[in-house]
Structure 1
Amino acid sequence: MSSNQFIVASPPSDAISAIAFSPEPNSTRLAVASWDKNVYLYDLRDENGAVGEGKLLQKFEHRAPVLDVCFGANEDELYTAGLDWDVRRIDARTSSQTVLSSHRAGVKSVVYSREHRIVVSASWDSTLHVHRAGTDSTPAEIPLPSKPFSLSLSPTKLVVAMASRALHIYDLKSLAMITDQADVQPPAVNRVDIEPWQRRESSLKFMTRAVACMPDDAGYASSSIEGRVAVEWFDPSPESQARKYAFKCHRQTVDDVDVVYPVNALAFHPIYGTFASGGGDGVVALWDGIAKRRIRQYQKYPSSVAALSFSSNGKYLAIAVSPGFEDGKEDIGPGTVRIYVRELGESEARGKGTK
């Protein structure tokens, strides 16, 4: 069975920074963060229940470009991060926005752990803020050694990819515990020095662009601006660490010259544990990280792939496409920002050894 693809209606008017499917089973809600200072909430189902270009449910305006968005405890709760320095909670039912905390610089990433009911944001002020969801308790502020570029959660771990090829891995249970110690009202913060579970140096030689955790809690993949992806495991034993590897991807030969593109986005399939990569070359590829092989590569999209997200049931892959500096296009014209959704065939994302 081959995949079908459609373009989502009413896309943002400026570059897309993040895209996320609702974690609810079989949900077709999709949240999108954009440089046009808005967060968009779509439903891919029409009034008859058919999945297609869908409809824009709501648009939430911010004071500055929005750099990240994630769903919270349900599909009516969103968390956002952006260049207004704020971490916000959005209630889609009431359209209300609440500032959870304010950093001292732009906020690059925000993630929500359903297992531990905490929200973690990472800012270019080189700090993490850890918020206890659903309470007014003061966020805990954790200093970082350098500027964070990407965050990702597994059921038990938080991976923070930073400048200078630094990676910190935190135990989520420990992060949840420190939020219980604060009693001051936000937007104040409670500074906490907590040791990461592990400190690592990236296997990639150049700046990390994205990191994504494996759904089985075993490890993570990271990507760089220099057309490479690394696959690593959490287990610190020499046997597990010997399994880590990196490979080249998102490269094209143009006039006998090897042109290298940044790998902007990574996303793991929630069922099969394979992963997708999206690059500045406008290409999306599916990989089997265990078998160390590419499963398939899709046709080239019109411009740079900015973000990727699988639906919670693994049936759909959302692909955000925006012109980037690697395209030589700084001005984004009408119709150049698009969200494609692929309906995957039954075995399309299945790895070599997956049943």
Structure 2
Amino acid sequence: MMAGVGVGAGRELSSPPTDGISNLRFSNHSDHLLVSSWDSTVRLYDASVNILKGQFTHRGPVLDCCFHDDASGFTGCADCTVRRFDFNTGREDLLGSHEAPIRCVEYSHSTGQVITGSWDKTLRCWDPRAASGKERAPMGTYSQPERVYSMSLVGHHLVVATAGRHINVYDLRSMSQPEQRRESSLKYQTRCVRCYPNGTGYALSSVEGRVAMEFFDMSEAGQAKKYAFKCHRKSEAGRDTVYPVNAIAFHPIYGTFATGGCDGYVNVWDGNNKKRLYQYSRYPTSIAALSFSRDGRLLAVASSYTFSEGEKPHEPDAIFVRSVNEAEVKPKPKAYVAAP
């Protein structure tokens, strides 16, 4: 355990990445955890027993990763390639490439396609069945208004956040045009977008210590429900310090969500009741990524400096897995006041 990090931070995984952690994700089928890193690796852990089960090394930094099934997945890399790897067989296949680094990769179980978002200002869709040692053409290429920064999908909805505060919402069954073109309701650069588990909308975070709660329903009543709130900031001697909000993760059972910021804190929020439920003890450095396990019992936290303050000495990268207490994530019932 790192010096100065208490037991409350969770169990620290052994053999962490040696450079910045770009993302981590739990499997939908087990406590396997996939981790991508700027050290050019993707690692597979069994988080429940703290075992590194496998590691693939790429030709450049790995900027995102996602599962295909419990022992295989996809990576988006700074070398502009999207790859599939299988930890059981050791096989690695090339799906294709972009003209610039691939920042985001998602796999849709409902449509069976892989979607990549790149700094070349495009989305591309791939058929993983066509993966081989040779590069294949994408199923489709879709221009974006700017570089892709973050993506999230739920059901057939894909939400794409780009530079310039643009938001595009797609139906994966009909990708020719976005269903909705929006502008972020936050004034500053988008850091993360994550869809609500119930499929009704998405949460959006920015570099300026704010989160926006948005809804797909464009009716007046639907849009009246959206709001934004301040978080990950501190006030000392009358001066506010504001931190980027790098990560959002929704609890799969209760629909509450965790945010992680460059202040090193993880907060848990009840979005429906607009309340903070819990704040965990401070981690050694910036929170780069968060993920709840499929049953919500575990929360993986990437403590990894994100260079928001430029080059400076910082704590080594680490992954913590904490057991989640129901009281930390379950919405509290609204107080009932009897009529006089």
Whole-angstrom distance in 2 between the partners of 1:282 and 1:251: 11
Q: 2:236 aligns with which of 244, 251, 254?
A: 254
Q: Deviation at 1:227? A: 0.3
Cα deviation for residue 45 of structure 1 reads 3.4
Is the contact between residue 170 and residue 196 of structure 1 (CA under 8 Å) also seen in structure 2?
A: yes
Match of 1:168 in 2: 168
CA distance in structure 2 between the partners assigned to 1:321 and 1:329 by the alignment: 17
* 1:140-289 to 2 correspondences below 5 Å: 140-175=140-175, 194-289=176-271
Are the equivalent residues in 1 in contact too, given 2:81–2:94 (CA < 8 A)? yes
Contact 2:47 2:321 in 1 (8 A): no
Please name the residue that 2:86 is paired with.
Answer: 91
Distance 1:67 1:102 in 2: 14
Residue 164 (structure 1) shift: 1.3
Q: Counterpart in 2 of 1:30?
A: 33
> SS at the partner of 2:173?
helix
Give the alignment partner of residue 58 of structure 2, picking from 62, 80, 85.
62
Name the residue aligned to 2:24: 19
Structure 2 CA distance for aligned equivalents of residues 125 and 19 of structure 1: 23
Q: How far apart are 1:330 and its partner, in Å?
A: 4.2
User: Is the partner of 1:239 in helix, strand or coil?
Assistant: helix
Residue identity opposite 2:234 in structure 1: Q
1:106-155 Cα shifts (integer Å, max 9, x gaps): 10000111111111000000000111232357311111111111000111
**Aligned pair count?**
323
Unpaired segments of 5 or more residues in structure 1? 47-53, 176-193
Cα separation, 2, equivalents of 1:227 and 1:127: 28
What SS does structure 2 have at the residue aligned with 1:325? coil
**What is the deviation of 1:327?**
5.1
Gap regions ≥5 residues in structure 2: 1-6, 335-340
Partner residue of 1:119? 114
Shift of 1:3: 7.4
CA contact (8 A) 2:9 2:281 kept: no
Range with bigger deviation, 147-156 or 341-350: 341-350
Identity among equivalent pairs (%):
47
Moved over 6 A (4+): none
C-alpha contact 1:3 1:343 (8 A) present in aligned 2: no
Letter of the structure 1 residue corresponding to residue 319 of structure 2: I
Rounded Cα–Cα distance in structure 2 between residues aligned with 1:204 and 1:271? 28
> Which residue in the other structure is 1:338 paired with?
318
Distance 2:189 2:229 in 1: 15
Native 8 Å contact 1:323 1:330 kept in 2:
no
* Aligned residue type for 2:21: I
Provide the C-alpha distance between the structure 1 equivalents of 2:200 and 2:142, rounded to a whole number of angstroms: 25
Q: State the SS of the aligned residue for 2:129.
A: coil
What's the offset of the Cα at 1:346? 2.9
SS of the residue aligned with 1:18?
A: strand
Q: Secondary structure at the match of 1:271?
A: coil
Alignment partners' CA distance in 2, 1:69 and 1:91 = 13
| Counterpart residue type for residue 137 of structure 2 | T
**Residue 309 of structure 1 contacts residue 318 of structure 1 at CA under 8 Å; is this kept in 2?**
yes
Q: Deviations over 1:290-337 (max 9, x none)?
A: 11111111111110000000101111110001123235554566xx11
- Given that 1:324 and 1:330 are in contact with CA atoms closer than 8 Å, whether structure 2 keeps it comes out as no
| Residue deviations 1:202-237 (CA, integer Å, cap 9, x gap) | 010000000000111011000000000000111111
The answer as to whether partners of 2:193 and 2:202 remain within 8 angstroms in 1 is: yes
Q: Provide the C-alpha distance between the structure 2 equivalents of 1:215 and 1:78, rounded to a whole number of angstroms.
A: 21
- Shift in alpha-carbon separation, 1:330–1:116, aligned structure 2, 3 A: farther
Q: Which amino acid aligns with 2:48?
A: R
1:28 is displaced (CA, Å) by: 1.1
TM-score scaled by length of structure 2: 0.91
Structure 1 residue aligned with 2:293, among 292, 311, 314?
311
1:8 counterpart (1, 13, 20): 13
Q: Secondary structure at the match of 1:312?
A: coil
| 1:7-61 deviations in Å (ceiling 9; x for gaps) | 111111111010000111xx11001001111111111233xxxxxxx11111100
Check conservation: 1:323, 1:329, Cα contact below 8 A: no
Contact 2:74 2:83 (C-alpha < 8 Å) held by counterparts: yes
- Whole-Å Cα distance in 2 between the matches of residues 160 and 34 of structure 1? 22
TM-score, normalised with respect to structure 1: 0.87
Q: What amino acid is the match of 1:146?
A: E
The Cα shift of 1:353 comes to 4.5
The 3-state SS of whatever aligns with 1:204 is coil
